Amino acid sequence: MIVLPSWPGARRAVPRVLDFGGILEPSSGAESQRMNRLGNRYGVTFDMPALNSDEGRVWVNRLIRGQTAGARMEYPLLDFNPGTPGAFVVDGNGQAGTLLTVKGGAPGYQFKEGQPFNLIIGGKYYLDFIAADVAANGSGNAIIPLSQMMRAQPSDGAALLITQPVVEGWVVDDQVSWELALNRSTALSFTIHESR
């Protein structure tokens, strides 16, 4: 996995849900139905600011390598401050669905609706968002609702990354290309899709 530089950050990011479900529209005019499938995940397109020649060489090299090895990029938090969550981990094996029981965090920590975070399973970073406001209890335990169903079962003690989540997956553009401008700057745009 190729870790992309944290500086400079993207000037623009366009996240999207990669939805594998669909709407069933019967030809008879009967009520339509939503078919949900496991595996919904996220993709993000990043537009970078003008990079100087040294920054540009590093970014281009890492994106080229990220096409075959995968890439990891910080998810932009903009003005959202996740605070001091402590070290939340999964509380119990065999969890699935859209509720995640966690422990070990800061007592009273406030998870906010729409807050991005990662669940780390087997060294892989799964991006998701908190579905509703929840506060950890006085022992630092909480049950957090997720926007998507878990795509893998975490083991007891699997870590959460809350303060600076990332998107991890494949650089999916058909080709990595970049512009070398006369003012000695490099311009580039790329997309990362979670692979699982």
Q: Residue 124: give its domain's CATH number.
A: 2.40.30
Task: State the total domains in the chain.
Answer: 2
| CA dist., res. 181 & res. 114, Å (int) | 38
> Per-residue DSSP letters for 91-134?
-SSS--TTEEEEEEE-TT-EE-TT-EEEEEETTEEEEEEB-S-E
Q: Would you state the pLDDT for residue 175? A: 60
Structure tokens at 31: 């009520």
**CA–CA dist 140, 5 (Å, integer):** 32
| Same domain assignment for residues 154 and 175 | no
Residues 91 and 159 in one domain: yes
CATH of the domain at 65: 3.30.200.190
Residues 97 and 137 in one domain: yes
The residue written with tokens 């997309």 in the block is 191
Per the domain annotation, does 117 fall within a domain?
yes
Pair 29, 95 in one domain: no
Same domain, 114 and 69: no
Of 109, 98, 99, 91, the residue nearest 163 (C-alpha): 109
Same domain, 50 and 114: no
Do 90 and 156 lie in one domain? The reply is yes
DSSP state of 57: H
Closest alpha carbon to 43 in 161, 148, 152, 178: 148
Contact, 52 vs 180, CB < 8 A? no
* CA 164 to the chain's CA centroid: 10
- What confidence score (pLDDT) does residue 177 get? 67
Note whether 3 and 56 are within 8 A (CB): no
The Cβ of residue 91 has, within 10 Å, a number of other Cβ atoms equal to: 18
Q: What is the DSSP letter of 146?
A: B
pLDDT tens for the chain, 196 residues long, are 999 998 888 999 999 999 887 888 888 888 888 877 778 999 999 998 888 888 888 998 999 898 899 999 999 998 999 999 999 999 999 999 999 999 999 999 999 999 999 999 999 999 999 999 999 999 999 999 999 999 999 999 999 999 999 999 999 876 666 666 666 677 788 899 998 8
Block residue for tokens 């795509």: 151
Q: Is residue 16 part of a domain?
A: yes
The reply to whether 26 falls in a domain is yes
Residue 81 within any structural domain of the chain: no
Q: State the DSSP H helix or E strand holding residue 168, giving kind and residue range, or none if neither.
A: strand 166-171
The residue range of the domain holding 57 is 2-76+168-194
Phi, psi (degrees; rounded to nearest 5) at 59 = -60, -45
